[in-house]
Amino acid sequence: MIQQALLEVFFLDQATRLSDNPRAFKDGNLFMNSVVLVTGTTHGIGLVTARELARARYTVVMACRDLALADQVVSDIKRETGNQEVYSVSCDLASLASVRLCAETFLSRFSELHVLINNAGLMRTRRETTIDGFETTFATNHLGPFLLTNLLLDRLRESAPARIVNVASNAHRGTRLDFEDLQARRKYRAMQAYAKSKLANVMFTLALARRLEGTGVTVNCLHPGVVGTNIFPTDNFLFRAVAPIARHFLMSPQMGAKTTLHLAKSNTVVDVSGAYFDEFQKPRPPSLHATNEMDQEELWRVSEALTGITDG
């Protein structure tokens, strides 16, 4: 209890500092007409995020697995917002090769990157493996965003001030990482696998914030709320039966996107880095397990080895 109270004081202090640098802002938005890359924008929170950023006159690049659907969403957003600077790029976060190609494509087409939003995520009721041999939930929710972020870090630094926003979840509070079984080979439970991947998101955010100190690039993570999106698996009868009823009691994607948009745009968080925000745009301390620096660094080392990158 004392540890958690101390953490709360620390993280609230971290997340309430304001900037005295007005150069980066205009009308409360970070670099209006600047470039933002968002993953997972064909449905739910990601779709709302992309649309509202386009409405705010950002150049929006949508990284999506289903490129045909993404292209349709691009057309819809252009029509709805009048912003023609909306683009799509193929990215399957479950495939390291696809993530690398996505980064290469983005870097070849855009000379700047001011905001990276790692939004995409999924849950699987049964243990599945990716083309690279990793457990699918862990690979898609953590390894893919870890690799994509690292491949784009130099461009973010060059474009500073810049921001990284990682969509995590309060589900991270109910678990801890087992470094002997990150791939859930011994025992797989859907909610636990999802929770562990979200814990990895928070730990990645905190470890990355240390590495980005003094660069002009900030990184924060968030809980969007319990939102009615298509993240719930459809390959399980119980999930399919409960989902239509549950959605009546869940937050809308419009509400769920609010904290993501706040961290991407607001001038009140320009100097805030390494913080965790709730669905009401308030800074909150993450779990004690998430703040363990030794575990954060171990996760970083393991993630580097699995994705084949070196620490930038």
Digit-coded pLDDT (tens) for 101-153: 999 999 999 999 999 999 999 999 999 999 999 999 999 999 999 999 999 99
Digit-coded pLDDT (tens) for 143-156: 999 999 999 999 99
Q: How far apart are CA 305 and CA 89, in angstroms?
A: 26
Strand partners of residue 135: 129
Q: How far apart are CA 296 and CA 149, in angstroms?
A: 16
Please indicate whether residue 87 is annotated as part of the active site: no
Could you tell me which residue, 24 or 259, shows the higher pLDDT?
A: 259
Confidence at residue 311, expressed as pLDDT on a 0 to 100 scale:
55
Q: What is the pTM of this model?
A: 0.86
Residue 273 tokens read as 């880095």
Residue 87 tokens read as 């683009």
Q: How would DSSP label each residue in 142-153?
A: IIHHHHHHHHHH
Among 11-25, 198-212, 291-305, which stretch is predicted with the lowest mean pLDDT? 11-25
Could you tell me which residue, 231 or 26, shows the higher pLDDT?
A: 231
Residue type, 73: V
Domain spanning 2-14+33-306 has what CATH number?
3.40.50.720
Domain boundaries, the chain: 2-14+33-306
Residue of 58, 87, 188, 194 with catalytic role: 194
Confidence at residue 251, expressed as pLDDT on a 0 to 100 scale:
83
CB atoms within 10 A of CB 260: 26
Confidence at residue 234, expressed as pLDDT on a 0 to 100 scale:
52
